[in-house]
Amino acid sequence: MTMEQHTPQPEIVVPEAEDFLPLLGTDHVELIVGNAKQSAYYYMHAWGFQPLAFKGLETGSPDSVSYVLRQDKITLVLTTPLAAGGPLNDHLNRHGDGVKAVALWVDDAAKSWKETTSRGAVSVFEPETQKDDNGEVVLSGIETYGDTIHVFVERKAYSGVFLPGYVAWSPSGTSESLGLKYIDHMVGNVGWGEMNTWCQFYAKVMGFAQLVSFDDKDISTEYTALMSKVMSNGNGRIKFPINEPAEGRKKSQIEEYIDFYQGAGVQHIAVATDNIIETVTELQKRGIEFLKVPSTYYETVLDRVGEIDEDLAPLSELGILIDRDDEGYLLQIFTKPVVDRPTMFFEIIQRKGAQSFGKGNFKALFEAIEREQSLRGTL
């Protein structure tokens, strides 16, 4: 393994994203899960999310139940169907627990739908106004890769707890926040040869620009490879790296994902913290499992990244990785898959100037993933 070299970061292309689709941020991420009640407990008590809102039988929602959780700017919606059949069960049957909707906060959901569908996006639902005593929201939706969708959420005339149809939810026994602040980026895995198609989708349909690109020479080990491009919206708040598998001697981790997810989907959600040591210490205490690189990583890492503010000892103990680019450095760590299928996982990231994605860690990280794949018999 060669971790000592600090390969130069790819040139960052200044985004020239068009602003026909101004995005204010990520509104929420909706996962379809097998048991939303227990998933909500997991995200509250293991991850420090706070309960926010609920809809289900008690609120007049006969077909599905949803729990809404929040930590700072991150809002998760966990949804489970309540009866057999229908699209929610189809999603669950095909993909297992996974992300259905990446909802984007906009000023004008009707215009967002019009601008994107006129550029080729497939509509999921036309702009619709939903009202309750707290005002109104406008929602619209378009398809993206796999069965994943983007929902545009316009909530400037709404003061309710989440969306119409939901009631405030405050169960007993909640947990403390773990300092997770916002979604830094969300990565999509797509099939062989589909990366450019979906990058073009984000460029043409949503006005995103390409930040960086990694080919299989950047992201390969002795055995496996992948390719990745990072697409960003104009104000840089929304970053969607897109991965596709590449040929190697053994099975790419992206192909393993595609096999188990039965298609393209969200691979990981990177969440930002201001104190990764505290956040990860607490997550590990609560049983969250992380990928570990060999301890030899820490023998040479400072030669590669230079001086950092943190002591190396706690980083090494927790398995936190370090990388540097022209603008600063970053600290990051990746969980093992958080669902039964080897599909979705989380990244915890603390940026100290660096705006890149940890390229210097790819090799060590992917070798760690290969060890896990080997245990699953999927390498």
Cβ proximity to Fe ion: between 270 and 318 the closer is 270
Q: How far is the CB of 185 from Fe ion (least distance, A)?
A: 6
Buried b vs exposed e over 286-304: b needs ≥16 C-beta within 10 Å? eebebbbbeeebbeebeeb
Cβ proximity to Fe ion: between 30 and 347 the closer is 347
Amino acid code (one letter) for 302? L
Query: Taking Cα atoms as reference points, which of 244, 243, 240 lies closest to residue 207?
Result: 240
Longest Cα pair distance anywhere in the chain, in angstroms? 60
146, two tokens: 């796999």
Build a one-symbol-per-residue string for 333-352: x at contacts with Fe ion by CB under 5 A, - elsewhere.
Answer: --------------x-----
Q: How far is the CB of 87 from Fe ion (least distance, A)?
A: 29
Amino acid code (one letter) for 156? K
Distance CA 321, CA 302 (A): 11
30 part of the interface to Fe ion, by CB under 5 A: no
Q: How far is the CB of 200 from Fe ion (least distance, A)?
A: 21
Q: How far is the CB of 188 from Fe ion (least distance, A)?
A: 11
Total binding residues toward Fe ion, as defined by CB under 5 A = 2
65, two tokens: 């139940």
198, two tokens: 């979906």
Distance CA 306, CA 276 (A): 19
Q: How far is the CB of 241 from Fe ion (least distance, A)?
A: 6
Interface pick for Fe ion out of 238, 270, 330, 333 (rule CB under 5 A): 270
Cβ proximity to Fe ion: between 65 and 270 the closer is 270
Query: Taking Cα atoms as reference points, which of 151, 154, 242 lies closest to residue 200?
Result: 242
293 part of the interface to Fe ion, by CB under 5 A: no
Cβ proximity to Fe ion: between 106 and 199 the closer is 199
Cβ proximity to Fe ion: between 27 and 347 the closer is 347
Give residues in contact with Fe ion (CB under 5 A). 270, 347
